[in-house]
Amino acid sequence: MQADYVIIGSGSSGSAVAYRLGEAGHSVIVIEEGGTDAGPFIQMPAALSYPMNMKRYDWGFQSEPEPYLGGRRLATPRGRVIGGSSSINGMVYVRGHARDYDTWEEMGAQGWAYADVLPYFKRMENWHGEADGTSEVSAYRGTDGPLHITRGPRNNVLFNAFVEAGRQAGYNVTGDYNGEAQEGFGAMEATIWKGKRWSAATAYLKPAMKSGRVQLYRAYARKVVIENGRAVGVEVNRGDRIEVIRASREVIVSASTINTPKILMLSGIGPAAHLREMGIEVVADRPGVGGNLQDHLELYLQFAAAKPITLYKYWNLWGKALVGAEWLLTGKGLGASNQFESCGFIRSRAGLEYPDIQYHFLPIAVRYDGKASAHGHGFQVHTGPMRSKSRGRISLRSADPKDSPKILFNYMSEPSDWEDFRKAIRLTREIFAQPAMAGHVKSEIQPGEALQSDAELDGFIREHVESAYHPCGTSRMGRADDPLAVVDPEARVIGVEGLRVADSSIFPQVTNGNLNGPSIMTGEKIADHILGRKLPRSNLQPWINPNWRTAQR
């Protein structure tokens, strides 16, 4: 088994890299431990709570007991299926804010500013926003890429009521948060097309395999094989055999923020003292491998509904059967949406240049694991701060490749995180008190109106905060002379030839919003770095609130 390029992982970035390398005429082998994405649990958008809770599709990771959350272990789902986490996620499409990428460049990721990444977002997108009444295709969007992006129908009155309540509270309404202006309230976008999940496997991997130049190899990647300082292949388990798949040009690790640092460390790339402790020979002492772990946390703020107009009426066996049957027969109906159809991005205070709080609105009160609220009809908003200062680490449990890594996020370890969350709760309550939403609110389910003081809200946060499943940063990109950087701005692993990383683990800082879009863009851009080419920079500028220094909205 040999190819020009060997990629570990068929997820958001890995599939995009494979597609572009194959398109350029190279032979590519993609190693993927997970299986097929066929079947309604993955393909039906409304069934999104199922695959991330199924062992068949998910690695089943958990954090270590989190010291600032009372020792709770938080679920850390990662896709174990073709398409990776793009096959089990919520399908929400958010590029992030323009300033996220300018910040990356300031942190040492030269060539990753907004002007550099915007052309790659445009290249990957097949945007259908204009069907939503947007009069013309925005210069900020792409319309002929592999990734279909659509907006939900917003038939439920609550979707527009939420946006209107944001406007009444004094915030902007944005026609396209992925275009010129992220800040404000508006329609949410999704990687859904013709009623089905449009994952990286569907958009990139399957078309690439049809060309014959890209092969999928079902195996468990153990480590990168490095000879004389150069990556020459990947050692894998296939059944009970250990094999080496050789790369004549490069090995690309696209195994996720959790598994990529694990594979690097098993290959001898990481903090030297930790590797020696595990009995692993040190190839490159990179103390940053596994560090800089970041995520978004969120709360579900839930409200009981004054009228029976929420999705709760379908939250029973008969209702789910009807929705599923309509979707199977027609590809339409409630099953064809992830139900995240409106959203908001706001700044928590004056003096912030761009938003730091995100909202996903959902017209039912329910958890990600599919447990509905006992209150019956209700709705909720998922909200949390976008730029927590807390940092964690991934480390090895042992030198056995089959062992899960240790995952410690150190969630809420910074005092500012608590302030930011309290602020998010209070600003959210204010939005739901606006006339557009107030008539729909019967009562506040959680936190509950009784909880008002800082201490009461902190207790609620500690007990109820959940991961938004946006881990990143554990193989941070930076200047080649930065001792804590793992890859340089070309995504090459510092200290090893012929080895790159292409996934969300290279993000210097978490972006504003969901990570699937930025992860696919990363794969698109790194493919061009590998091929020695790049798209011309954009000169489009984002909209920044002109009064940001003095006004919160």
Under 8 Å between Cβ of 77 and 65? no
CA distances from 475 to 15, 249, 484, 506, 508 (A): 19, 21, 9, 5, 8
Please give the Cα distance from 265 to 223 (Å, whole number): 8
The per-residue DSSP string of 421-464 comes to HHHHHHHHHHHHTSHHHHTTEEEEEETTTT--SHHHHHHHHHHH
Asked if residues 349 and 552 have their Cβ atoms less than 8 Å apart, the reply is: yes
DSSP structure class, residue 52: G
Is 92 annotated in some ligand binding site?
A: yes
236 labelled ligand-binding: no
Element (H, E) at 234: strand 230-238
> Which is nearest to 395 in space by CA: 410, 373, 378, 381?
410
151 touches 189 (CB < 8 A): yes
Q: How far apart are CA 355 and CA 219, in angstroms?
A: 42
Reference 285, options 98, 419, 135, 483; nearest CA is 483
HSE-up (13 A, CA, CB side) for residue 46: 25
178 appears as a binding residue in the annotation: no
- Distance from C-alpha of 548 to C-alpha of 347, rounded to nearest angstrom: 9
* Cβ–Cβ < 8 Å for 485, 108: yes
H/E segment holding residue 501: strand 499-501
Element (H, E) at 227: strand 220-227
What's the rounded Cα separation, in Å, for the pair 280 and 283?
9
* Annotation marks residue 470 as catalytic: yes
Q: What is the 3-state secondary structure (H, E, C) of 27-39?
A: CEEEEECCECCCC
CA-to-CA distance for 303 and 310, rounded, in angstroms? 11
- Four-CA torsion 318, 322, 324, 327, nearest 10 degrees: -170
**Residue of 148, 360, 470, 529 with catalytic role:** 470
CA Rg, the chain, in Å? 23
Where is 173: in which H helix or E strand? none
Strand partners, 221: 236
Question: CA 239, 396, 250, 123 torsion: positive or negative?
Answer: positive
Based on the number of CB atoms within 10 Å of its own CB, is 535 exposed (0-12), middle (13-18) or buried (19 or more)?
middle
91 is in an annotated binding site: yes
Tokens of 449: 């109106």
Positions annotated as catalytic residues are 470
Task: Detail the residues annotated as belonging to a binding site.
Answer: 81, 89-92
Task: Detail the residues annotated as belonging to a binding site for FAD.
Answer: 81, 89-92
